[in-house]
Structure 1
Amino acid sequence: MVDASTGDAPRHDVSDSASDLSSMTNATPEALAAYYDKWAGSYDADLPKMGYDAPIRAAQIMRDHDIALDAPILDAGCGTGLTGLELARLGYRDITGIDISLECLQEAEAKGVYRHLKKRNMNKPLAFGDNGFAAVQCIGTLTYVTEKRKLFAEFCRVVKRGGIVSFTQRADLYDNAFIKAISATSRAGLWEQVSHSDPMPYLPNHKDFGDEKHIFYDVYRVK
């Protein structure tokens, strides 16, 4: 999933669902699932029009940090599978995707790049065993997670020691509460920071975003 925006995209360029992103920032899990179920059919066409390139950048992070091509990766908030597709293009072949939208998961399944796909609400425990993944990527999804500290702990639980957790967060939402959730995870000895990017493009072709909204790419190594 892509994070909710704070403005409306041009309706002649993208679907109505894409234009209504601003209404979803504080949506309940049920409303969020219904929204993305509706958007799933046009999601893959809408995102490139808005200039969204995070899946490509996220996949390259896995290569840059030497995650083996046969290593199991969890794509948390996989949406329609755009992130998994970019991983597969780089040669990754053991990808598990989770998302709150069943329709998005069906679109992801059609891409044929995931070993497993599961419907999950990431405000709850992930329902995977300990140390089962070499890496987690969570791209364009944290806006919708209220229990971020608990989710970060879950990521560290399901990723083996030495593996990485890679995620994006909008710069305007990288606030004190978000930083505290990261810091608490570090103080608990669960992970250590590897990198924090400069502000990067988010939706540069969006008429209300342009150069005004950016995202950070963070990478942490599980201890």
Structure 2
Amino acid sequence: MTKSENDRNVSQLHQAYQARTVEELSQSYDHWAEEYETHMKNVGYSHPAMVTSMLTRHIPAGTQPILDAGAGTGIMGELLTAMGYNEITGFDASSNMLAAARAKNVYAALEQMFLGQPLNYPDNHFAAVTAAGVFTQGHAPLSGFDELVRVTRTGGLLVFSLGPVYLGEAFEEKNKALLLAFFGHFFLGLSLCCFFSGRLLFGCFFLGCFLFCCHFFL
């Protein structure tokens, strides 16, 4: 990769991370969509592969339906399809990113939606939900977890990556709030498994499985 190519990669990442509104975010990715996968490959982007690896540890191939939150150009959809998960729904903030994902023919449905706003899916619908590279600076707020949990089935799985901006007290408070919200309701509780890869946290929410919250750092 040449210096000019690296500079373009950094510039595009900076624009996305500095987005202040969902409109700015979607416009940033609309402009980036054509070169997105090449750029991210050059910088060693591995979030979708890590999230897919964690998902395959816990649910068998063929489990459906699965929601890919922040589907982007469809990298996650391709990985999930290769691992035997066939009914995949996705959404993203960028129409051009969705067009690239749609061209891969690995999704049952794709819609333009914004994580942090109400999602157009019924309660308790998905067997598993993935969110790779979504909860990070300038992207989805931690409040987006509320909707992802809502659309995940009791006993289902939510697998996510979490950027450094959310590590620490903010995520701990959100985790506690989710626990309190579901005690005494139709979910029995919430358990969280996490591990670090460099400065990035990956984790799973298991919905309706346990009455406590546990952390595993590998």
Superposition TM-score tier, normalisation by shorter sequence? 0.7 to 0.9
Aligned to 1:25: 17
> Does 1:173 find its partner at 2:166?
yes
Deviation at 1:68, TM superposition (A): 4.1
Q: Secondary structure at the match of 1:41?
A: coil
> Does 1:87 find its partner at 2:87?
no
| Counterpart selection for 2:197 from 197, 200, 206 | 200
Where structure 1 has 5 or more consecutive residues not aligned to the other structure, the ranges are 1-8, 202-213
| Counterpart selection for 1:219 from 204, 208, 214 | 204
Superposed CA deviations along residues 158-181 of structure 1, whole A, max 9, x for unmatched, are 111000111111234313222211
For the residues of structure 2 that align with 1:161 and 1:50, how far apart are their CA atoms?
A: 37
For the residues of structure 2 that align with 1:173 and 1:132, how far apart are their CA atoms?
A: 27
For the residues of structure 1 that align with 2:194 and 2:10, how far apart are their CA atoms?
A: 28
Deviation at 1:152, TM superposition (A): 1.6
For the residues of structure 2 that align with 1:67 and 1:158, how far apart are their CA atoms?
A: 20
Q: Which amino acid aligns with 2:90?
A: G
Alignment root-mean-square deviation, CA: 2.0
State whether residues 167 and 219 of structure 1, in contact with CA within 8 Å, keep that contact through their aligned partners in structure 2.
yes
Q: Which amino acid aligns with 2:121?
A: F
State whether residues 156 and 207 of structure 2, in contact with CA within 8 Å, keep that contact through their aligned partners in structure 1.
yes
Identity of aligned residues (%): 31
For the residues of structure 2 that align with 1:15 and 1:71, how far apart are their CA atoms?
A: 40
Deviation at 1:90, TM superposition (A): 0.6
For the residues of structure 2 that align with 1:94 and 1:15, how far apart are their CA atoms?
A: 38
| Counterpart selection for 1:145 from 140, 161, 175 | 140
Deviation at 1:43, TM superposition (A): 0.7
State whether residues 13 and 49 of structure 1, in contact with CA within 8 Å, keep that contact through their aligned partners in structure 2.
no
Higher relative contact order (CA 8 A, sep 6+): 1
> Does 1:122 find its partner at 2:115?
yes
Q: Secondary structure at the match of 1:12?
A: helix
Deviation at 1:62, TM superposition (A): 1.8
For the residues of structure 1 that align with 2:104 and 2:77, how far apart are their CA atoms?
A: 9
Q: Which amino acid aligns with 2:49?
A: I
TM-score normalized with structure 1 length: 0.83
Q: Which amino acid aligns with 1:175?
A: G
Deviation at 1:15, TM superposition (A): 7.1
Where structure 2 has 5 or more consecutive residues not aligned to the other structure, the ranges are 209-218
For the residues of structure 2 that align with 1:173 and 1:182, how far apart are their CA atoms?
A: 12
> Does 1:61 find its partner at 2:58?
no
- Shift in alpha-carbon separation, 1:102–1:18, aligned structure 2, 3 A: farther
Deviation at 1:84, TM superposition (A): 1.0
> Does 1:157 find its partner at 2:150?
yes
Deviation at 1:48, TM superposition (A): 1.2
| Counterpart selection for 2:8 from 3, 9, 16 | 16
For the residues of structure 1 that align with 2:126 and 2:99, how far apart are their CA atoms?
A: 23
Q: Which amino acid aligns with 2:204?
A: V
Of residues 36-45 and 53-62 in structure 1, the stretch that sits farther from structure 2 once superposed is 53-62
Q: How many residues align?
A: 200
